[in-house]
Amino acid sequence: AQKITQTQPGMFVQEKEAVTLDCTYDTSDPSYGLFWYKQPSSGEMIFLIYQGSYDQQNATEGRYSLNFQKARKSANLVISASQLGDSAMYFCAMREGRNAGKSTFGDGTTLTVKP
């Protein structure tokens, strides 16, 4: 079974609107971390936000927030007030246990922000 599932290959959003990118995960390890990365056409992986499995509150970083629903094993990324520069590929990833850095990635969602 796939450990990280991103069901939206492509998404469109109007500039200045909010958008939610879906991510579900599968693990039996009680200790894990969930990440979202942005990959523009240049290829670099840009860290956006992190949520630990024991964190009580949803993570937020500026315009990015993570809607963490532990019982449903979902970790959706919400981008508020979309900007043209947000157009990129977005990856959800999971680290299991304390194995820092060894992450499993989803297939990604291509987000296009329309003017």
Partner 1 sequence: GAVVSQHPSWVICKSGTSVKIECRSLDFQATTMFWYRQFPKQSLMLMATSNEGSKATYEQGVEKDKFLINHASLTLSTLTVTSAHPEDSSFYICSAPMSLALETQYFGPGTRLLVL
- DSSP one-letter code for 12: E
For residues 105 and 93, the answer to whether their CB atoms sit within 8 Å is: yes
**Considering only residues 100, 111, 113, 114, which one is a binding residue for partner 1 as defined by CB under 8 A?**
100
Minimal distance, residue 16 CB to partner 1, in Å: 28
For residues 34 and 50, the answer to whether their CB atoms sit within 8 Å is: yes
Work out whether 1 is an interface residue with partner 1 (CB under 8 A): no
Three-class SS state of 105: strand
DSSP E strand stretches across 1-115: 4-5, 10-14, 19-21, 24-25, 32-39, 46-52, 60-61, 64-69, 74-79, 88-96, 103-105, 109-114
**Considering only residues 91, 96, 111, 113, which one is a binding residue for partner 1 as defined by CB under 8 A?**
91
Decide whether 14 or 112 has the Cβ nearer to partner 1: 112
Work out whether 52 is an interface residue with partner 1 (CB under 8 A): yes
Work out whether 70 is an interface residue with partner 1 (CB under 8 A): no
Work out whether 107 is an interface residue with partner 1 (CB under 8 A): yes
Enumerate residues 21-50 that contact partner 1 by CB under 8 A. 33, 37, 42-45, 47, 50
Work out whether 109 is an interface residue with partner 1 (CB under 8 A): no
The structure tokens 């860290």 sit at: 47
List of residues contacting partner 1 (CB under 8 A)? 33, 37, 42-45, 47, 50, 52, 91, 93, 98, 100-108
